[in-house]
Amino acid sequence: MDFRMNNVVIEKGNAANTSGLIVQSSGQAHVRGSVQNSLWSENSGNGCFRVEDATGQLELHIQNVELDGNASFGTSILSFTGTSSGTTEIAHTRLENMLIHHHSGGNQILYLENMQMHLLNVTSAENETPGIHVGQDATLELQNSILANLGEPELVTMSEGGSIFSHGGNIINDDSFIGWSGSSDLINTDPAFLNLTEFNLSASSPAVDFGTMPDSISSLDLAGNPRIQGKGIDAGALESPFTSSIANSKFTLAALDVWPNPTTEEVRITMVETLSSPATIRICDASGHQLEDVHAVIPAGQYQASLFLAGVPAGTYTIQVVAEEGIRAVGSLVVVPSR
């Protein structure tokens, strides 16, 4: 079963059960779902999301969602529990470009049990609720996320059999993740927001250009701005227009010229440096999904290639130049309807 929620606003609701979304799967069901471009604001109930999977086959992607000022009288604002029946399969969930702020009540913001979850460019800030519970057989992957809440531990519980993996680029304002964070994370660090209402980054924020490149990435941030604007990707849900002044920034991409841009049917990709190994040019849409039918190769010793875009819908896309050593360059492309 597949389902999608898009452009949904749920606000000022009061429910004895979950004020938002309940997903339950059992038997042989293979549930794949997505929640995008939505807002939960000033609701009161038993959390905003409750996901219960008994199959180990659930796939859920929550992207570009803001949770603002909700109150929970239940256990958690976000609850994700999977099967504990001994199956070798485990459900997969991904939270991307998500802003969680000014919540109260409940035992924790995120409850994770018997499930794998990837937090990518998530900002959780100014909540009065403790942070994350990682339960039995749960795996939490952290990348490019900011955890900066009000005097409560960011990692509440770490159960036996649970695990945390950092892909880097995370900024955490306490020491509760020590022992689980990576060498490219910042612990006990203030993210230096420009304000505590919209949570944009200031020019001096350590989150600017601090992120690491994931396997796939949305071309836009939570606010609809280009995801990469400086030397690299920022930490958090909102990309800033600033560039890091740190000379030894750990994530620096080569410059990429995209012309014409906007375009209709063809675009020329030019790098400022010649590649030492062959590289593939791929295009990803705003959800981070790669367009399988649109790609090109830059041979070793070359620096240019053309992409033909016939049939590509109008929209904003991310261009990635990927070589053996990883992503070498990233650019933004706007496709407009042909006249």
Is 256-335 CATH 2.60.40.3080?
A: yes
From the list 88, 86, 82, 135, the residue with the least C-alpha distance to 107 is 135
Domain ranges of the chain: 2-187, 256-335
Tell me which residue has tokens 């770490």. 158
Q: What count of residues does the chain have?
A: 339
Contact 180, 164 (CB under 8 A): yes
From the list 53, 40, 55, the residue with the least C-alpha distance to 80 is 53
Rounded Cα distance between 53 and 30, Å, is 10
Quote the pLDDT of residue 272.
Answer: 72
Q: Which CATH class is domain 2-187?
A: mainly beta
Q: How far is CA 126 from CA 72, 170, 190, 193, 199, in A?
A: 15, 17, 12, 11, 10
Which stretches of the chain score pLDDT less than 70?
Answer: 17-19, 28, 84-90, 245-255, 287, 325-327, 339
Contact 152, 100 (CB under 8 A): no
Quote the pLDDT of residue 247.
Answer: 41
Rounded Cα distance between 245 and 114, Å, is 41
The DSSP result for 79-114, as a single string, is EEE---SS-S--EEEEEEEEEEES-B-SSEEEEEES
Quote the pLDDT of residue 56.
Answer: 81
Do the first three CATH levels of 2-187 and 256-335 match, i.e. the same topology? Answer: no
Quote the pLDDT of residue 270.
Answer: 87
Mean pLDDT of the chain: 86
Q: How far is CA 65 from CA 41, 222, 257, in A?
A: 11, 7, 31
Quote the pLDDT of residue 37.
Answer: 94
Bridge pairing between strands 315-323 and 326-335: antiparallel
Contact 96, 117 (CB under 8 A): no
pTM: 0.80
Quote the pLDDT of residue 7.
Answer: 93
From the list 152, 156, 125, the residue with the least C-alpha distance to 235 is 125
